[in-house]
Structure 1
């Protein structure tokens, strides 16, 4: 896949010596939805700020569409739309006026047809003459997206796009993002909602303590880092785990009626087959088997808890 954003050895140290980013390398592919996950203070906002030209890096480089963000600042900035977490729109302006004004800020000629199409796509057309102050929180969020897209950027950053909105509206926003991706816009979102990343993202990056911990697809994350548990319902309770089963990662339930086997997905076939053979050898009969798998949230929590 072609990269639209390339980050190379990027570091940022603020006055006072705090290092927010530490030699970050990251490539974001053209046309994908990329979710950047990380706890508060992990470096998400700093990374976005540098890519968008709001902050200067201490070391390293960033290119957007093959253009360096410092040498070709005007070009790269015109390729990017940014929707901040905070609602910063002028509450006294109408939807139509504020979106058109944002387009003009980038030196773009007036294009009423484009603005109309944009507002219709975001379900804002019926509100085009409404003042921002009269809109709901969800509608205001949509106006922020319209402003960010008014100059026809190739890349859209969404910083916590559904923060503070209810579950139903959050799902509506997910659909908006998917429609935008289908139109060819590359979308990078930061979020605290793991289900948001699971629902929307093609790939997921985890940042912690200013470093990229990993970047991968959801499927590969689950395959590489997910753990599973096999619960064996026994016919007869055991007092302890027999020696013949010692090689397996087993726990015996308090009442002795269940054996719980924990394994990673890469050892799934061989591990279960070996366990069942050993159960048979020990003469232990079971009446039922059930499995459960770690979620993306479990993986994320374990990653950010790792010592840096």
Structure 2
């Protein structure tokens, strides 16, 4: 059995199984989308850093979300360009593990950050008198540092576990980037420990954050409905609706890929859902926060 185990020096990513014309169209579309992702998120980071009216905890968290939205597609999209042009491409073992590491870091950080953002909106609407005393600059900056540390650490643990898998045959990954599920499908070693580890880590990074977000927004909706003034009610709801839209899209796609049983969806559906949270979500985040936020609109007008 040991003789059949090969040392994986590289993997071959199949990408999307489409014709030449569709690959060129996807390449051009992805190029435009990726440029829009970089421009939109860099604009938000620059505005929050330079505009005084955006020096608040909420916009600081939004700028952190933009950093995550740049890190995630930048880790995967450039290699997708090459895959589309070549109709599949090889990636080294180290490159594959590097993709997994930064992918886990960005995804884990965004899960935790969206949870903190929902709690921030809960405090601002349901407990406004204590908001300033709780959300001090030192508190939320130190909290963000803690989130980055946890994300880097958990990503290291996951990547280390994935790197210990053995591969016995042609190392062909039916995906457009290195992910845990496709790697486990081609591995000839026992994948149960890695699956168990992923299930356990999904509790603090997916399940518990989802519960906190649902509870936070449940209380927010109840508090908004108790507001007598229609204008105040609409203003309170507008500050949360954009964040709720981002959270819903992000978590629904993640749950569909990593929580639902694998036999309920094909590999192509898995690719599409992965494409949504890797490319589509970082694209719409700046759009949602820009077009539906008066402060950011005002900051853009003052800047330009």
Calculate the TM-score normalised by the size of structure 1. Answer: 0.22
Calculate the TM-score normalised by the size of structure 2. Answer: 0.22
Larger radius of gyration: 1
> Whose strand fraction is larger, Structure 1's or Structure 2's?
1
